[in-house]
Amino acid sequence: MDYYEYDQYNNFNRFSNIDGIEAKIIEHLIHSKTKYANTIWQLLKYPSKEALWQEVPTEKERMALVEGAVSSLEESETKEKRLFCKPFSDDAIKDECSVLCFYIGEIYPVDATQSVVSLIAEIATHNHINLVSGEADFVAHPEVTNPNDYYYTDNDVPVVQYKSRESLLLKCVLAELNGLFIDGVGYIQFNTHQQVDGRNVASKVSMSVYDGRSFFGHKIQFNILMSGISENPAIGR
């Protein structure tokens, strides 16, 4: 068995970029123009039932929804935050809205040089606003096809009269972030990683009902296989 001095052991499993993961994900979401990212921002910005029929928020409007972000919008327009780098706290949110939170969860060492880092994406939605109009809302949009006729559409995507805002956010966050590569960190994966101490480290989705009972939501556990060896004593400062 090899023996190391403290300064040698201290070089292992040091992740110089772990403290920037949340910010890099948020930056990706701000600039992403995919349909999933656009839908996420519509649901975060607009609490109304017609959220999906509103204009897609611009990058400046997206920045205004991020806690701590620098925005060129007027201060009066930046008070309502919907995107956070910390766990959700239901007693801190007074509005009827949806919020999205990113933070580091558990870390599972694989060996001395790599670990599985769990990234938590926490979604919370106020009970009063969960339903949003779907593509076939006959009251607001009677021109759209019958929801049972989706087999005759070009892309075989079903349309419905209403959707769960929370389930739609869950779908879009999974679709947007699974497989995303973050420079200096690695791939975000909703997957099962190699065995750690004889067991697999698997991603998962769990339901959360908060103490205040006004919000409910989901916690998505993504996994990132990270490695880091460094002799730089300044890492982590």
User: From CA 71, how far away is CA 64, in angstroms rounded?
Assistant: 6
Residue-level pLDDT at 108: 84
Q: Per mean pLDDT, which range of 13-22, 169-178, 182-191 is the poorest?
A: 13-22
DSSP β-bridge partners for residue 119: 104, 222
Half-sphere exposure (Cβ direction) of 113: Cα atoms closer than 13 Å: 1
Name the token pair of 210: 């908060």
Residue-level pLDDT at 158: 64
Domain positions in the chain: 6-227
Q: What is the separation of C-alpha 126 from the centre of its chain, rounded to a whole number of angstroms?
A: 17
Q: What is the pLDDT of residues 120-147, one digit of tens each?
A: 999 999 999 999 988 665 555 566 555 5
What rounded mean pLDDT belongs to the chain?
Answer: 81
